[in-house]
Structure 1
Amino acid sequence: MAECCSLLGGLVGSSPSFSSRKQIVRTRFSKNVRLAPARVSMGLPPLSSPNDPFLHHLAAAASSPLGREQLADARKKDDGTLPLLDIISDSIMMAAPAQVERSTSYNEHRPRRPPPDLPSLLLNSRIVYIGMPLVPAVTELVIAELLYLQWLDPRQPSYVYINSTGTSRADGETVGMETEGFAIYDTLMQVRNEIQTVGVGAAIGQACLLLAAGEKGRRYMLPHATAMIQQPRLPSTGQMSAIDVHIRAKEVINNRDMLVKLLAKHTGNSFEKVAKVMERPFYMNPTKAVEFGVADKILWRGQEAMAETLKTEEWDKRAGIRVVQRPAVEGNQMG
């Protein structure tokens, strides 16, 4: 502050009371401040430094009409007080140079912390998105999100968006065990929240089971989504012995029977019908999926899965509006 006061003293060159201060300023800032005598006639301070934000703002303030009036008043009074004290007391002028530079940059509103990942943002709207094959990492994340939503509020519904090829990739290669899909299914049945499912893209194999496991009447599909059920595939056996291959084959058959049983439960079809259509990959567009019982409704443009569509009479009933039958017109009665 002492140096700033000395600098302001140097701005008033015509006042004899500041002669000693002017000499101190010239001595102390001779290496860092460039003198500009040509700018004195324009009303600007004789001391300026483009690299010093404080001096730059001070020079701009002094060159303004208000600043020139204050300097003229200070020269007339010559009472030994420093001019432009209101500028020094300004919070912007007294800020550090780095803060002044940041306030005028284009990154003024840049967040100080990185934003959260997209699954976390969707979780704020109670949306769980399954967009990959059911590998252990995906299963762990989905189960954790479902349990977190139940802990957050067990009375609010959760929305599961499904775009997955199940435990295999699109080319048919097995990438996960069938137990991954059963783990998510059991969690859906265990949590107390109402689960609403939406099929986007593809729901194949175990993913189709998850789509059908939603709340009855709240299972949706987008107009161009696809559902497909198929038998589980035997993973690569490699150099396994015959008995090990036989054990694995028995486990795959058990998983197939369990998948057929659960699909029959949620679709309303018989065990034999589901087992017959699963002998080969059974593809379903949204219309066929609704007919088969995998989904309940098709979401067209402008509709939302989170909004319930009610009939006009139901809206009136909930709003307390009672429809009164109008009496017949007297003219009609007379006729």
Structure 2
Amino acid sequence: MQVPMVIEQSERGERAYDIFSRLLKDRIVCINGPIFDDTAHVVVAQLLFLESDNPSEPIYMYLNSPGGSVTAGLAIYDTMQYIRSPVNTICMGQAASMGSLLLAAGAKGERRSLPNATIMIHHRQPIDIVQKNMDRDYFMTPEEAKEFGIIDEVINQRPMALVADAVGGEGKDKGPEVQSSL
């Protein structure tokens, strides 16, 4: 896979970044694909770096994952809980299995999903339902994931407050563009 490059110009000249380094500069971490040790290694390092850079600023984690290794996922989960920076999670595409755990591990009130994403958990709660559904996975729409408590909002487009945070400025319109499931 070729990684796109982004060229930025400043008074000092031009600088080329791979797209993921440029996103990291804006405190954006992407998890795309299965979660294995190599993915966890990079994501944990990114989270620790961003916390050391500014522990009070939020980190934005975009998830599109079918899941993966439990130990690799728990390394990311534990780091998300350990660092002082709040981690705001956004599901795009899918968050299945370990991906849904990481989605739910985001900062309370800051767990979001795009409207056409799919969220999957292996078992439902309470225990009688878990026992009944042990042999099958449970796929949810974003609205169902909100009712279940995995996410806080379904968004159609980025709220202006997130745009302002991403570019380091103040958003003029702080009102969220949220699709309500009520």
TM-score under structure 2 normalisation?
0.76
Say if 2:139 is the partner of 1:283. Answer: yes
- The within-5 A match list for 1:152-231 is 152-167=53-68, 177-230=69-122
Q: Distance in 2 between matches of 1:196 and 1:188?
A: 10
Structure with the higher helix share, 1 or 2: 1
Aligned residue number for residue 40 of structure 2: 139
Aligned residue number for residue 309 of structure 1: 175
Cα distance change of structure 1 residues 150 and 273 upon mapping to structure 2, 3 Å threshold: farther
Q: Percentage identity across aligned positions?
A: 36
Aligned residue number for residue 102 of structure 1: none
SS in 2 for 1:306: helix
Cα distance change of structure 1 residues 302 and 294 upon mapping to structure 2, 3 Å threshold: closer
**Higher relative contact order by CA 8 Å / sep ≥ 6: 1 or 2?**
2
Cα distance change of structure 1 residues 178 and 305 upon mapping to structure 2, 3 Å threshold: farther
Q: Which of these two proteins has the greater Rg computed from alpha carbons? A: 1
Aligned residue number for residue 150 of structure 2: 294
CA contact (8 A) 2:36 2:72 kept: yes
| Unaligned stretches of 5+ residues in structure 1 | 1-108, 168-176, 232-259, 261-268, 311-335
Cα distance change of structure 1 residues 225 and 198 upon mapping to structure 2, 3 Å threshold: same
State the shift of 1:130 in Å.
0.3
AA aligned to 1:309 is G
AA aligned to 2:53 is L
Structure with the higher strand share, 1 or 2: 2
| Unaligned stretches of 5+ residues in structure 2 | 1-8, 164-173, 177-182
Q: CA RMSD of the aligned region, Å?
A: 2.5
Farther off after superposition, 295-304 or 193-202: 295-304
State the shift of 1:276 in Å.
4.3
Q: Distance in 1 between matches of 2:88 and 2:129?
A: 23
Cα distance change of structure 1 residues 289 and 277 upon mapping to structure 2, 3 Å threshold: farther
Cα distance change of structure 1 residues 124 and 281 upon mapping to structure 2, 3 Å threshold: same
Aligned residue number for residue 167 of structure 2: none
CA contact (8 A) 1:150 1:191 kept: yes
State the shift of 1:278 in Å.
5.6
CA contact (8 A) 1:158 1:193 kept: yes
CA contact (8 A) 1:196 1:218 kept: yes
Cα distance change of structure 1 residues 274 and 163 upon mapping to structure 2, 3 Å threshold: farther
Q: Distance in 1 between matches of 2:63 and 2:93?
A: 8
Q: Spell out, residue by residue over 1:69-121, the C-alpha distance to the aligned partner (whole angstroms, 9 max, x if none).
A: xxxxxxxxxxxxxxxxxxxxxxxxxxxxxxxxxxxxxxxx9xx9872221111
Cα distance change of structure 1 residues 305 and 160 upon mapping to structure 2, 3 Å threshold: farther
Q: Distance in 2 between matches of 1:134 and 1:277?
A: 28
